[in-house]
Structure 1
């Protein structure tokens, strides 16, 4: 029986946010990342969707005991899809892999909602740790939906798995935000 793995392309790339074993870099072919606004919250979430010619870097990791329950709970609002044949990775066992994505019929708008900066910080930190500066650039380049508000909640993080960034990590995130069409707004 094949081991069950997931492909993470956002906060799951940051291995400080979970304890799933055997995390390995991977590339998903035929997909692209996007910020997704749903009726669940004014906060937008990263999702992924199939697209011709797209690729996104991320991380595969084992689902302990092949029990998806805890991960399904963490990824509430997303649906799992098999992507084993669309992945490049170096895992010798060739596990079965699924990705979480928010179905297109649950998207509310292309520009509504806000990105929590504490969430974005976690994602960028994960890409920096896993792929280095080029991986961070790749994350920003392969993600759509930046034309919205970024809520600066660093002083009182709202993202439940927030992480402390180093000054250089903070400067890296801020530098990318300065180049994007986002509007940064501080929380009250």
Structure 2
């Protein structure tokens, strides 16, 4: 039996943030990304939720020897679940795939909104740009809900622990899409 895979739909799409080398682009039907506010921390989590008629791009990657420990630690605040094979398309052949998402029991009250880290958005967009091009970046923004949350501009002093340096093109892509969404950027 082959080692299991994970489906990454956010920062895990950016291969520079991890050392899982056996990766394949993938599409997950019936889900969308959403910014979640939880009781676990004062920053928003990028998660997923079922969404009829929506499909999101992402990356699947093999977890050697089914050793989930390092990934589970990285994804603290999320729970891992098995994905139905029928909802995921990729070129890796028949493999078991799991995905991380926030747990509804951890959701904060609807009145509470935590900021999104711009350094995190930068990493995600860089990953999508590298794997799916500009169209993939556009689809990332279109298939993610919750952009009405303030975005903390921490670019000059990134708070995201796996932040990356962006090219000018990548920075312009992020800024363009956030401006189109009329996202509210706040200073650190």
Whether contact under 8 Å (2:33, 2:143) holds in the other structure is: yes
Deviation at 1:49, TM superposition (A): 1.2
Partner of 2:75: 75
Deviation at 1:159, TM superposition (A): 0.2
Partner of 2:137: 136
Partner of 1:54: 54
Partner of 1:99: 99
Structure-2 separation of matches of 1:21 and 1:133:
23
TM-score if structure 1 supplies the norm length? 0.95
Task: Confirm whether residue 108 of structure 1 aligns to residue 101 of structure 2.
Answer: no
Partner of 2:154: 153
Deviation at 1:46, TM superposition (A): 0.5
Deviation at 1:51, TM superposition (A): 2.1
Structure-1 separation of matches of 2:2 and 2:15:
23
State the SS of the aligned residue for 1:52. strand
Structure-2 separation of matches of 1:55 and 1:153:
30
State the SS of the aligned residue for 2:92. coil
**Would the alpha carbon gap of residues 142 and 109 (structure 1) be closer, same or farther in structure 2, given more than 3 Å must change?**
farther
Partner of 1:45: 45
State the SS of the aligned residue for 1:108. coil
Over 4 Å off, 4+ runs: none
Deviations 1:126-151 (A, max 9, x none): 00000000000000000000001110
**Would the alpha carbon gap of residues 169 and 109 (structure 1) be closer, same or farther in structure 2, given more than 3 Å must change?**
farther
Deviations 1:87-143 (A, max 9, x none): 100113x11000101122322145600010000000000000000000000000000
Partner of 2:26: 26
| Structure 1 unaligned blocks of 5 or more | none
**Would the alpha carbon gap of residues 84 and 3 (structure 1) be closer, same or farther in structure 2, given more than 3 Å must change?**
farther
User: After alignment, is 174-183 or 58-67 more displaced?
Assistant: 174-183
Whether contact under 8 Å (1:21, 1:64) holds in the other structure is: no
Deviation at 1:181, TM superposition (A): 3.6
Whether contact under 8 Å (2:34, 2:46) holds in the other structure is: yes
Partner of 1:119: 120
Structure-1 separation of matches of 2:78 and 2:133:
28
State the SS of the aligned residue for 1:163. coil
